Amino acid sequence: MVVVIDKPMATEDLLLLPFLFFLNSLYIEREEEEMRLHGTQLVNEQGHLEIGGCDTVELAKKFGTPLYIMDEAHIRDICQQYQGSFVKGMENAEVIYASKAFSTLAMCRIIDEEGLGLDVVSGGELYTALQANFPAARIYFHGNNKSREELTMAINAGVGRIVVDNFHEMSILNELAEDLNQRVNILLRVTPGIEAHTHEYIRTGQIDSKFGFTLSDGTADRALDLALSCPFLVVEGIHAHIGSQIFELDSFRHEVQIMIGYMSDIHVRIGYLLQELNLGGGFGIYYASGDEPAQITDYAKTVQAALEDACRDQKFPRPKIIIEPGRSIVGTAGTTLYTVGSIKEIPEIRKYIAVDGGMTDNPRLALYQARYEAVLANRASEETVESVSVTGKCCESGDMLILDIDLPKAISGDLLAVSCTGAYNYSMSSNYNRLTRPGVVLVAGGHADVIVRRETHSDLLRNDVLPARLK
Ligand SMILES: *Cc1c(COP(=O)(O)O)cnc(C)c1O
């Protein structure tokens, strides 16, 4: 609540001012406790949640629910924070958006406009980027099992770097490059042996990982020697990605240390100077209370300091630095809007609030026990009075969106806005139970543009074929 004073004040009222300010600050503190606002989110005079200048109650009316809402100004702001602290704040660095977090034509355009590069991990993500006219030279192609077709597509498109994950891929790639008579710039993906503190399903830097060449047992050395003997491959550098949703900057410092140490070892061993160090993504974001992500500027400072130290210690020339944030670019920019349907109360046990989506549009609780926060978008300034569980409409008991959340007393027809759903939600969505995927709107300056249409029932049958004998 904000106290608005709209008439000239009498002198005796002026004496009240400090008291009013004090009251105001109390309210603001309480609201912040109840609800953390992200990007351009605010609660408007009608008590509705507003994002990008758009009233979410109006968005629900116009576009239906469930609906993914992406806050364009917030995405651009984060891109600019990354560009500011890594690219402008450092010499020879590049920020690449990991498009698997949220890949659509509009998103590729925003990333291009903000000057970031793009990381793709499949022919589909590459196709999306190329269709969006994303400059191929700024595309990095990842993946632990790229097919011949995907590699051919990448070579033909002229992607900037192919990040080679394993020996099988290396031999196919060299063969294809020879056939197409084109030299290919590659990075080698290595596993540095770092156990980042995050959920085991999103940890990737440890030795027991399906990704990359192991550093510690000499596999990475063999991979490099082999790559250097492939006439159509140009080894520009090495890459590691230690995991996702990482809060401890120390993990990144450790990664820099190990990687520079390795680059220096190679230089000493065979005299080959690797020019690029790609540190992957993984920077953590706020989802729910207790999450305390660092600032992007501190992330950059940590990398910069670790780099200076390691290069000095190893007497190694500073390589080009590449980072690949995905989640932290789009995660907090996304909100999913649902309509509350059935409500089931089991006295003294639990109250279930069911919404018109679920694990089909957000599988992250089912996959990683992810936590989320939510508000009733149509009554966002009301006080919370009860703790409930938010469930979806799929035929699975594991189809939960939030295990415990304090809300005002919800009734059927209320709108529930779950925040921080911008990353790994739409991109991980499915048609389980033949549910149609929600649409995505991009909001900015009071306008909402559909960037992904809501699926229809007929979309579900697009690829179904009925053999004649079954007709
Ligand atoms: C997933 C992934 C990223 C992005 O990770 P975030 O945690 O979303 O920042 C970057 N690089 C690679 C190789 C990845 O697999």
Confidence of residue 383 (pLDDT cuts 50, 70, 90): very high
- What is the value of pTM for the model shown? 0.91
Dist. CA 348–CA 345, nearest whole Å: 9
Name the residue of 75, 121, 125, 241 whose CB sits within 8 Å of the most ligand 1 atoms, as the mutation to test its pocket: 241
Average pLDDT over residues 195-208: 70
Q: Is 212 a residue whose pLDDT tops 90?
A: yes
Sign of torsion over alpha carbons 186, 188, 194, 196: positive
| Ligand 1 pocket, residue 438 CB under 6 Å | no
Q: Is 27 a residue whose pLDDT tops 50?
A: no
Q: Is 24 a residue whose pLDDT tops 90?
A: no
Which residue's C-alpha comes closest to atom 3 of ligand 1? 281
Please report the pLDDT score of residue 15 as a whole number: 53
- How many angstroms separate the alpha carbon of residue 174 from the centre of ligand 1? 25
Phi/psi-derived region of residue 88, left when phi > 0, alpha when psi is between -120 and 50, beta in every other case: alpha
Return the ligand 1 atom nearest residue 283 CA: 9
Please report the pLDDT score of residue 201 as a whole number: 65
Please report the pLDDT score of residue 207 as a whole number: 78
Please report the pLDDT score of residue 28 as a whole number: 46
pLDDT, tens digit, 9 for 90 and up, residues 324-335: 999 999 999 999
Contacts of 464 (CB under 8 A, 6+ apart): none
Confidence of residue 8 (pLDDT cuts 50, 70, 90): very low
Please report the pLDDT score of residue 77 as a whole number: 98
| Ligand 1 pocket, residue 66 CB under 6 Å | no
Which residue's C-alpha comes closest to atom 11 of ligand 1? 280
Contact assessment for residue 168 and residue 179, using Cβ atoms and an 8 Å cutoff:
no
- How many angstroms separate the alpha carbon of residue 125 from the centre of ligand 1? 14
Q: Is 18 a residue whose pLDDT tops 70?
A: no
Contact assessment for residue 82 and residue 95, using Cβ atoms and an 8 Å cutoff:
yes
**Cβ neighbours, 10 Å, residue 44:** 14
Please report the pLDDT score of residue 209 as a whole number: 86
- How many angstroms separate the alpha carbon of residue 398 from the centre of ligand 1? 26
Q: Is 402 a residue whose pLDDT tops 70?
A: yes
Name the residue of 119, 247, 421 whose CB sits within 8 Å of the most ligand 1 atoms, as the mutation to test its pocket: 119
Name the residue of 202, 244, 303 whose CB sits within 8 Å of the most ligand 1 atoms, as the mutation to test its pocket: 244
Average pLDDT over residues 424-435: 98
DSSP H helical ranges for 324-460: 327-330, 364-368, 457-460
As annotated, the active-site residues are 395
Confidence of residue 341 (pLDDT cuts 50, 70, 90): very high
| Ligand 1 pocket, residue 198 CB under 6 Å | no
Contact assessment for residue 166 and residue 257, using Cβ atoms and an 8 Å cutoff:
no
Question: Which has the minimum average pLDDT: 21-25, 69-73, 292-296?
Answer: 21-25
Please report the pLDDT score of residue 17 as a whole number: 52
Q: Record the tokens describing residue 225, joined without a space.
A: 């020697």
Dist. CA 6–CA 8, nearest whole Å: 7
Q: What percent of the chain has pLDDT over 70?
A: 91
- How many angstroms separate the alpha carbon of residue 219 from the centre of ligand 1? 23
Q: What is the chain's mean pLDDT, rounded?
A: 93
Please report the pLDDT score of residue 206 as a whole number: 78
- How many angstroms separate the alpha carbon of residue 376 from the centre of ligand 1? 32
Return the ligand 1 atom nearest residue 280 CA: 11
- How many angstroms separate the alpha carbon of residue 291 from the centre of ligand 1? 19
| Ligand 1 pocket, residue 281 CB under 6 Å | yes
CA-nearest of 398, 407, 390, 404 to 432 is: 398
Return the ligand 1 atom nearest residue 189 CA: 13
| Ligand 1 pocket, residue 243 CB under 6 Å | no
Which of residues 135 and 199 earns the better pLDDT score? 135
Dist. CA 348–CA 21, nearest whole Å: 41
| Ligand 1 pocket, residue 101 CB under 6 Å | yes
| Ligand 1 pocket, residue 422 CB under 6 Å | no
- How many angstroms separate the alpha carbon of residue 327 from the centre of ligand 1? 8
| Ligand 1 pocket, residue 325 CB under 6 Å | yes
Helix (H, G, I), strand (E, B) or coil at 335: strand
Confidence of residue 3 (pLDDT cuts 50, 70, 90): very low
Contact assessment for residue 62 and residue 55, using Cβ atoms and an 8 Å cutoff:
no
Confidence of residue 16 (pLDDT cuts 50, 70, 90): low
Question: Which has the minimum average pLDDT: 25-39, 65-79, 112-126, 239-253?
Answer: 25-39
Name the residue of 99, 100, 191 whose CB sits within 8 Å of the most ligand 1 atoms, as the mutation to test its pocket: 100
Dist. CA 158–CA 111, nearest whole Å: 19
Contacts of 306 (CB under 8 A, 6+ apart): 252, 253, 256, 257
- How many angstroms separate the alpha carbon of residue 380 from the centre of ligand 1? 33
Question: Which has the minimum average pLDDT: 3-17, 236-250, 434-448?
Answer: 3-17
Please report the pLDDT score of residue 5 as a whole number: 38
